[in-house]
Amino acid sequence: MIDQDLAQETINLALSRGAEFVELFAEDKRGMAAGFDDGKVEELSSGRDRGVGVRAIRGETTGYAYTSEFSKQALFKAAEAASSIAIDSQESKSLSVDLHWQSKADPRVPGGSIMWPESVAKADKVRLLELANKSARAQGGDIAQVSCGYADSRRKILVANSNGLWATDDQVRTRFMVSCVAVGDTGMQMGFEVAASTRGFEHFEEVDVEELARLAAERAIRKLSAKPAPTGPMPVVIKGGSGGILFHEACGHGLEADHIVKGTSVYANRIGELVASDLVTLVDDGTVSGEWGTYSIDDEGKPACRNVLIENGLLVDYMWDGCRASRQGRDSSGNGRRQSYQHLPMVRMTNTYILGGTSKAEDIISDTDHGIYVAKLGGGQVDTATGDFVFGMVEAYLIEDGQITTPLRDANLIGNGPEILKKVDCIADDFATTPGTCGKDGQQVPVGCGQPTLRISEITIGGTSNG
């Protein structure tokens, strides 16, 4: 996207104006999306977005500017704008460096051959939507509406900086989702399923869209017979893969270094302390092949890493981007991410998960006399300063005498992240993950969440039942 000579000239221009560190981030992203609703194609779109961002840092001040053009004139203008923000207009110095580029070209995470999305005909992608729609509607007359969506993207990035780093990556993602609405005497209920990975069209060698649709439809139909959820504290068993979002939000964000440095996290200054049950090991890992939050390099050019955050209950580390890590005299953990070339990088999670244990999921359920079984969690919110959270349960059941019984209507889990971590008293060996999109400070990035089936000895249920 940019040759090395032009990159060096642009970096030197910003350095000559007083910047102490300069970084170029170039991106070329293509994507395609298709939507199928009420038996017909409602959306079929494709697009391309490309540009370059220039970051200039002097002391504690950062300047950032971007352009959608790759010309020398446009890059120089962006470099001048970024450096002027970073320094006092009365202070400048003449500085340039002869960069010896440390090349790291396309260090892709091993994952087999790639069927690039742009090489597949749109008709083949639409055919998957038709198959899913037919499968969902075949589950019964209670299914009143089916919506299916397909999306893929290919993102090429280049990171070059004044330390001589030259790093590139070629990232591909494919996603398929099905949403079903069932109608009965109790009103309307929805079921949703999604499968997403950092693979090309070969994604569908492992994902059966008809099975995905069947699961979504069955979920919606089961919820037609749901009863109001109870209210109050009780044991909760969370199905493997379905509750990763809880730990992502309630714990993961509090372990991001920007919150730590600002002192706005409940986990600040607690390295070495027991912050969870000794059964809990929490990991953030951008190297897991195929997972939704996986990449080869982060958006600052640092290779993806596997970072243990909590080990056997002890807090051992935080997640770091390059800027905050350098100010602390340590290395980045490979968690510097940005939505696009139009955004500054910040500390973000990749694939965040709790490691598996030794119990069996069925034994955890049979050992629970009375409680709630959460088969799927929805969205939620958390206060990183306190750890307090609220999460929606979109598929849940009563546990009675060690058996999963009555389906429950949507309700909330209410609690505190650090407290909940300490109340994990059983962890199974059936680890699973789910894909998601994480929002922070106006930026959206793809992430993975995961955990095995586990039990929290007590958490508050915000239901509506009086009984």
Q: pLDDT of 251-291, one tens digit each?
A: 899 999 999 999 999 999 999 999 999 999 999 999 999 99
A 10 A CB-CB count for 266 gives 19
Q: How confident is the model at residue 134 (pLDDT cuts 50, 70, 90)?
A: very high
CATH superfamily of the 117-154+169-225 domain: PmbA/TldD superfamily (3.30.2290.10)
Residue range(s) in the chain whose domain bears CATH number 3.30.2290.10: 117-154+169-225
Is 140's pLDDT higher than 70?
yes
Q: How confident is the model at residue 38 (pLDDT cuts 50, 70, 90)?
A: confident
For residue 146, give the DSSP letter: E
How high is the mean pLDDT of the chain? 92
Pull the structure tokens for residue 452: 């095995």
Question: pLDDT value at position 2?
Answer: 94
Question: pLDDT value at position 465?
Answer: 61
Question: pLDDT value at position 100?
Answer: 62
Query: What sign does the CA torsion over 258, 262, 265, 267 have?
Result: positive
Is 460's pLDDT higher than 90?
yes
Q: Among candidates 374, 375, 409, 396, which has minimal Cα distance to 186?
A: 409
The predicted-structure confidence for 399-439, as pLDDT tens digits, reads as follows 999 999 999 998 999 999 889 999 999 999 999 999 999 99
Question: pLDDT value at position 185?
Answer: 84
Question: pLDDT value at position 91?
Answer: 53
Is 186's pLDDT higher than 90?
no
Is the separation of the CB atoms in 367 and 210 below 8 Å? no
pTM: 0.93
Q: Among candidates 85, 82, 98, which has minimal Cα distance to 25?
A: 82
Is 378's pLDDT higher than 90?
no
Is 104's pLDDT higher than 80?
no
Q: Among candidates 271, 246, 232, which has minimal Cα distance to 424?
A: 246
Mean pLDDT of 183-197: 92
Question: pLDDT value at position 213?
Answer: 98
Percent over 70 (pLDDT), the chain? 94
Q: Residue 254: left (phi > 0), alpha (psi -120 to 50), or beta? A: alpha
Strand duo 411-416 + 388-400: pairing: antiparallel
The predicted-structure confidence for 301-329, as pLDDT tens digits, reads as follows 999 999 999 999 999 999 999 999 999 99
Q: How far apart are the first and last CA of the chain?
A: 64
Is 456 or 387 the better-scoring residue by pLDDT?
456
Q: How confident is the model at residue 385 (pLDDT cuts 50, 70, 90)?
A: confident
Q: How confident is the model at residue 191 (pLDDT cuts 50, 70, 90)?
A: very high
Is 94's pLDDT higher than 80?
no
Q: What angle do CA 349, 413, 315 make, to 5 degrees?
A: 40
Mean pLDDT of 212-222: 96
Is 42's pLDDT higher than 50?
yes
Bridge partners (DSSP) of residue 440 are: 443
86 vs 159: CA distance, rounded Å: 20
Mean pLDDT of 144-153: 97
445 vs 293: CA distance, rounded Å: 8
Minimum mean pLDDT among 103-107, 172-176, 215-219, 440-444: which range? Answer: 103-107
Question: pLDDT value at position 279?
Answer: 97
Query: What sign does the CA torsion over 414, 415, 421, 424 have?
Result: negative
